[in-house]
């Protein structure tokens, strides 16, 4: 089993002693330090400095960010290497411990009041203040003030202990709550929901899996949005053939809607289980994947209809048929996030006031463009009569 890898991100010239002390602290704690000025910092000779730094952040389990008076070298992105390292770690979702010089925190309000003032006695560039403002206010990150490296290491001792305890708690939950057979097919977020088993975790699990599965088909969603059509599979030459094809297409869209309704409003509700009884997570997993699969089938159907060649005078009725499901597809895509927000809001209300109760409606109502349906029906009847 490998050691915990801790990456220290900061400018180097002004924080040499702090970086050196942190490297020793990390090693003494039994972890592996990753600092760019040390011989054991792994590099790829074919990559430049920035690429090597970002790649090593990708190897780290924890990132320690130290912000001092210098912003550092600004890359082509307009951001410093240090800021790019931080953003890379944030994207990965690893723990980040941020320490900001106390003098900078003390002067941040003054800079915000007069950003054009001279702060050269405190910082090399006011971009340092911009970075701190982004950390604290835009991203909502916790920033520890420091005046000495001893303050940093003392804080890290406690914070790493808290992290270790959290990992032990999660390990215990893992053993107590055996993961289902499909755990290697679901996201970390879905696994955490199962392990933590907070209130209404079954509902949250279903919504999270559905969201994850739908996101797998974002590329086909964009194909529909920009009408990136597949190769033509069908050429309609006669009116009789057209009428039959349109009726089959209409029936297909109806069947897809019925299947979706069955999975979400019947199967999923059944798998939730009665109050007081455990839900069938395997069933909820099946229902969520099934709904996402039908979502893709609906998009494929719409693109297939649109790609079919018909005589010019029948383009309108073909296009109307291909657009039938678009409002419903939008409803399905928004459903997991919208429903999750409703669940969280209901939990917050009941938690703050136990005397209140909230019913969360998880039924998915699909939007139908009645105007287009009416126009399609009218055009189809005209074709049949001519």
Is residue 282 domain-shared with residue 226, that is, in the same domain? Answer: yes
Number of structural domains found in the chain: 2
The fraction of the chain above a pLDDT of 70, given in percent, is: 98
Integer-rounded Cα radius of gyration of the chain: 28
Is residue 115 domain-shared with residue 84, that is, in the same domain? Answer: yes
Of the candidates 268, 274, 322, 271, the one whose C-alpha atom is nearest the C-alpha of residue 291 is 268
Flag whether 178 is in a domain.
Answer: no
More confident residue, 298 or 178: 298
Is residue 103 domain-shared with residue 209, that is, in the same domain? Answer: no
* Phi, psi at 302, each rounded to 5°: -60, -40
Span 261-278, average pLDDT: 84
Is residue 198 domain-shared with residue 304, that is, in the same domain? Answer: yes
Write the CATH number for 86: 3.40.50.10140
Alpha helices in 216-280 (DSSP H): 218-225, 239-262, 268-272
Write the CATH number for 375: 1.20.1420
CB distance 63 to 97 below 8 Å: yes
Is residue 66 domain-shared with residue 162, that is, in the same domain? Answer: yes
Is residue 113 domain-shared with residue 257, that is, in the same domain? Answer: no
Is residue 136 domain-shared with residue 190, that is, in the same domain? Answer: no
Of the candidates 15, 274, 246, 259, the one whose C-alpha atom is nearest the C-alpha of residue 124 is 15
Flag whether 176 is in a domain.
Answer: no
Flag whether 175 is in a domain.
Answer: no
Of the candidates 310, 308, 305, the one whose C-alpha atom is nearest the C-alpha of residue 324 is 305
Flag whether 215 is in a domain.
Answer: yes
Span 302-316, average pLDDT: 95
- Identify the pLDDT of residue 178: 64
The reported pTM is 0.67
Characterize the bridge pairing of strands 96-101 and 5-9. unpaired
Is residue 188 domain-shared with residue 72, that is, in the same domain? Answer: no
Is residue 232 domain-shared with residue 263, that is, in the same domain? Answer: yes
Of the candidates 59, 62, 56, 58, the one whose C-alpha atom is nearest the C-alpha of residue 37 is 56
Is residue 90 domain-shared with residue 163, that is, in the same domain? Answer: yes
Flag whether 364 is in a domain.
Answer: yes
Flag whether 174 is in a domain.
Answer: no
Flag whether 177 is in a domain.
Answer: no
The fraction of the chain above a pLDDT of 90, given in percent, is: 72
Is residue 299 domain-shared with residue 150, that is, in the same domain? Answer: no
Is residue 28 domain-shared with residue 62, that is, in the same domain? Answer: yes
Distance of CA 334 to the CA centre of its chain: 14
Please give the residue range of the domain that contains residue 363. 183-385
Flag whether 173 is in a domain.
Answer: no
Where does a domain end: 168, 195, 213?
Answer: 168
Task: Please write the tens of the pLDDT for every residue from 165-202.
Answer: 988 887 777 676 667 888 889 998 999 898 888 888 99
- Identify the pLDDT of residue 290: 96
């Amino acid at each position: 089993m490998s050691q915990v890898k801790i990456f220290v991100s900061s400018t180097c010239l002004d924080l040499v002693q702090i970086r050196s002390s942190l490297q020793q602290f990390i090693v003494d704690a039994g972890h592996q330090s990753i600092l760019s000025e040390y011989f054991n910092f792994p590099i790829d000779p074919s990559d430049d400095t920035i690429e090597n730094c970002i790649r090593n952040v990708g190897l780290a389990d924890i990132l320690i960010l130290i912000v001092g008076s210098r912003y550092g070298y600004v890359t082509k992105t307009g951001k410093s290497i240090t800021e790019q390292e931080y953003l890379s770690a944030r994207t990965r979702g690893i723990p980040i411990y941020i320490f900001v010089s106390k003098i900078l925190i003390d002067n941040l309000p003054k800079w915000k009041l007069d950003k054009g003032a001279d702060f050269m006695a405190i910082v090399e560039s006011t971009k340092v203040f911009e970075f701190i403002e982004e950390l604290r206010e835009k991203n909502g990150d916790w920033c520890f003030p420091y005046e000495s490296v001893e303050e940093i290491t003392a804080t890290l001792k406690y914070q790493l202990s808290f992290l270790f305890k959290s990992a032990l708690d999660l390990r215990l939950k893992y053993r107590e709550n055996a993961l289902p057979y499909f755990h290697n097919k679901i996201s970390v977020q879905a696994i955490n929901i199962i392990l933590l088993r907070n209130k209404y975790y079954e509902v949250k699990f279903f919504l999270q899996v559905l969201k994850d599965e739908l996101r797998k088909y974002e590329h086909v969603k964009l194909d529909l949005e920009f009408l990136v059509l597949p190769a033509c599979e069908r050429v309609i030459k006669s009116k009789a053939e057209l009428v039959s094809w349109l009726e089959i297409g209409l029936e297909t869209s109806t069947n897809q809607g019925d299947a979706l309704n069955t999975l979400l409003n019947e199967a999923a509700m059944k798998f939730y289980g009665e109050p007081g009884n455990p839900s069938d997570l395997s069933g909820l997993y099946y229902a969520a994947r099934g709904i996402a699969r039908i979502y893709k089938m609906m998009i494929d159907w719409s693109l297939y209809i649109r790609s079919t060649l018909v005589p010019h005078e029948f383009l309108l009725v073909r296009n109307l048929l291909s657009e039938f499901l678009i409002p419903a597809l939008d409803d399905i895509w928004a459903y997991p996030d919208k429903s999750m927000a409703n669940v969280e809001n209901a939990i917050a209300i009941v938690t703050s006031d136990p005397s209140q109760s909230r019913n969360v409606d998880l039924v998915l109502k699909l939007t139908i463009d009645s105007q287009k349906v009416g126009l399609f029906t009218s055009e189809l009847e005209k074709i049949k009569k001519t």
